[in-house]
Amino acid sequence: MATRLFSLSLHVATLPTEDAADSHSKASLQNFVHDTIENKNYQSVTMPITNQNWTQRWKNMCLTEPGQTEVKKDIENQRAAEAWRAGSSGPLRRDEVNITKIEEAEYITGMAADWLELDSPDVWVRFDSELALKQELAHASYLGIQTVILPPPRNRAHVTDYARAVNSCLLGSGISPYTHLSIPSTHAPVISDADLNSTWEMWDTIRSMCDYNSRLSLTLDLTAPLPSSLHSLSRWAAEPARYIFLPASSFDFLKDMAQHRPSVILANTHASLHATGGPQAYPQYIRHLEKSSPFYKALETPGTVESFAQGYQDFLQAPLQPLMDNLQSSTYETFERDPVKYAKYEEVSSMVLCVAGAGRGGIVARCLSAMVRSGRKGHIYALEKNPNAYITLQERQEEWGDHVSVIFGDMRTTTLPEPADIVVSELLGSFGDNELSPECLDGAMRFLKPDGISIPSSYTAHLAPLSSSKLWNEVCNSSRERKHAETPYVVMFQAVNILSADSPCGGRIQEAWGFIHPRSDVLVDTQGLPMTNTHNVRAAHLTFHVPYAGILHGLAGYFEACLYGDIGLSIHPERQEFVSPNMLSWFPMFFPFKDPIYLPNNAELEVSMWRLTDKRKVWYEWSLLGARMD
C-alpha cells in the first residue's frame, strides 16, 4: 500500500443539498460523508457543529443591535438569555446542530462556530461566547468527535482572555475532544513577517497559559499567501501542527510540511476557481505534491535515513550505556544495518588490529575486508565484554579462521598477546562522548605501539538552541518529576526548529568540545591506566544569535568524528551530507530545559554545558546564562 503523508479532509460550510427542507436529513448527511470518503479521495469531512438556527438564537439572546439599549431590548430575549446562562433553558436544539448521531460523526472533524468571540473587547460577549463554545464541545464529546477546530484568535489585546477560555474548556468535565486552533488568522491579502510574528506570539501565549496541554494543537490556515522568509516560517515546524486549512486557491508550503504528516482541509473546491480539472483535481494535486516531496522520495528509497527511521521521528530514547549494560542482539543488528558507517571504517583498517568492543563482529568483518583489499597480511584481536555477544563472535570464528582471535574481557583491564598498530572502536554516541568513549579508550590505548593510531582519532560535540513544544511536552508534561528534564534523550528530530543563525558572535551550530586519542599528556599508573578521570572533564560557554522570536525548549546535540585522515563520520546537520551521507546509526541528542524560555527578535543567547565526573560516574549539566537584545 502506498505511503500517505497527507490525510485529506473536505471542508463544507453546510451539508450540500438542493432541498432546504432536507437539510436535517441524517440519511443525507451519512450518504454525503460516505460518498466523500469512498469516492472522492478524502479521509474525512470538516464541517461546523452548529448551523444558522443556533447562530440566530444566540444573537437574539446575547447581542444588542446597533442603536438599541438593554432597556429597549425584547424582554423575552433577555429572560431567555439569562435562563440559557443559568443552564435552565435546555441544551442545543435538534434543528440547531448539523450532526446528531454517532454513526454520522465517525469521519467528521468538527468546527466550532466562527462567530464566537473569546477575545472580544466586550466582557459579556466573551462570557457568552465561552458558554456557547462549551455547549458545542459537550455535544461533540457526546458524539465521539475527536477533533474540534476553534475560531481563531483575532484580538491580540485580549489573547489572554481567549487563552483562559480555551484552558477552561480543556479542564472542564465532560469535554474530551482534542482541540485545534486555526492559526495564522488574518483577513489581509498577504501575511507579512510582522503579521506572522504577531500570530505566532498569540499562539505561544495561548499554549503557555494552557500549560502545554497535550490535547491542544495547531491548525495552520494558509488562506493568505505566506511571506517568503524561510526563517520566519520555520518556527511553525516546531509546533504541533496537525491540520492545514488549505483553500483551493493556494498550495504553498505543503512540500515542506509533508514530513509532519498533517491532515489537509481543502476548502472551496466547488467554487470553480480554476478553468479545468473540477473538484477532484485538488485532492489529486495534493497527492502529486505528496509523491514529489523530498521527504516522500527519501521515505520510499531503501537505505536512506528517512526509510530506516520510520516510527522513530520525535520518539525519545534513553542513550545507550554499553559500558554498564550488555546490549541486546537486536541492538547490534540495528547498528549493522548501517552500510555507511562500516564502509568508512573499512577504508582505514589494515595491519595488526584490536577491535575494542567488537559487538557481533560487524567492524571485524570490515577490517578483514580492508586487509584483503589492500593485500596486506595482518591479524585482528576482537575484544568484547558482553558475554552474550561473545558467543556470536565465537560462532563467527569459523568464518574468519586464523585471521581473528576472539578475546572476552573489558578493554580497561584486559591485556593483549602483542601490541597493536591500530585500535578500532565504535563507542561513539550521539553527542560523541556520551557513551563513555573517552573513558573506555583511555584503557584501550595501552594496546598500541608507540607509533600506533586510534580509529577514531578524534571527535567533537556540537550544540544549537532548539524549539520543539512536542519534545518538551513529552519530557516535562508526561511526568511532573523534574528529574526527567535533567536527562538527555536520543531522538530523530522532526517537529523541531533550530532558533539560531550564523552571526559574528558564532555559528548556527557551535562546537562545544572535543577529544583526541591517543593522548600523551595523561598521567598513568603502572598498568598504563589514567590515575584519575579529570582529564575528561569539559566545559563550554557559547553565545548564539536568535534572529526571530521563539520559545527555547532545550539544546540540540550532535557529533562529528575523524576516523583517520580525511575519512570521518558526522550527524552535524550542515556537514553530514558531505562527510557521511545517509548514515543511519546515530540520532541527535536533546537536552531539555525545565521551563520554556521566550526569546525576542534579535536575542543573544548565552548557554553553558559541562561534562563532569567523579570516581563512579560521568554526567552532563547545562544551563541558560542569559538572553539579551542584540
Active-site option among 290, 426, 474, 560: 426
Backbone angles phi, psi at 182, to 5 degrees: -90, 105
| 109 contacts 42 by C-beta, under 8 angstroms | no
Listed in sequence order, the residues at least 6 apart from 19 whose beta carbon sits closer than 8 Å to its beta carbon are none
Rounded Cα–Cα distance for residues 578 and 566 (Å) = 11
- In 3D, which of 482, 488, 492 has the Cα closest to residue 576? 492
Concerning whether 426 is annotated as a catalytic residue, the answer is yes
* C-alpha grid cell, residue 568: 570521518
| 630 contacts 604 by C-beta, under 8 angstroms | yes
Specify the residue for cell string 435546555.
90
How is the beta sheet containing 618-629 ordered, strand by strand? 538-546, 603-613, 618-629
Listed in sequence order, the residues at least 6 apart from 261 whose beta carbon sits closer than 8 Å to its beta carbon are 4, 5, 6, 7
Go through 119-135 and write b for each residue having 16 or more CB atoms within 10 A of its CB, e for each that does not: bbeeeebbbbbbbbbbb
Flag whether 411 is marked binding.
yes
Concerning whether 435 is annotated as a catalytic residue, the answer is yes
- In 3-state terms, what secondary structure has residue 137? helix
Listed in sequence order, the residues at least 6 apart from 388 whose beta carbon sits closer than 8 Å to its beta carbon are 326, 329
H helix or E strand, kind and range, residue 539: strand 538-546
Radius of gyration of the chain, Cα coordinates, nearest whole angstrom = 30
Backbone angles phi, psi at 514, to 5 degrees: -150, 170
Flag whether 574 is marked binding.
no
Torsion angle in degrees (nearest 10) through CA of 85, 91, 94, 99: 100
H helix or E strand, kind and range, residue 198: helix 193-209
Work out whether the CA dihedral 145, 151, 156, 157 comes out positive or negative: negative
Flag whether 384 is marked binding.
yes
Active-site option among 136, 435, 474, 560: 435
- In 3D, which of 438, 431, 433 has the Cα closest to residue 356? 438
Rounded Cα–Cα distance for residues 352 and 46 (Å) = 67
Flag whether 410 is marked binding.
yes
* C-alpha grid cell, residue 462: 556540537
Flag whether 342 is marked binding.
yes
| 460 contacts 511 by C-beta, under 8 angstroms | yes
Rounded Cα–Cα distance for residues 73 and 66 (Å) = 11
List the binding residues for S-adenosyl-L-methionine.
Answer: 332, 341-342, 384, 410-411
Annotated catalytic sites, by residue? 426, 435
List the binding residues.
Answer: 332, 341-342, 384, 410-411
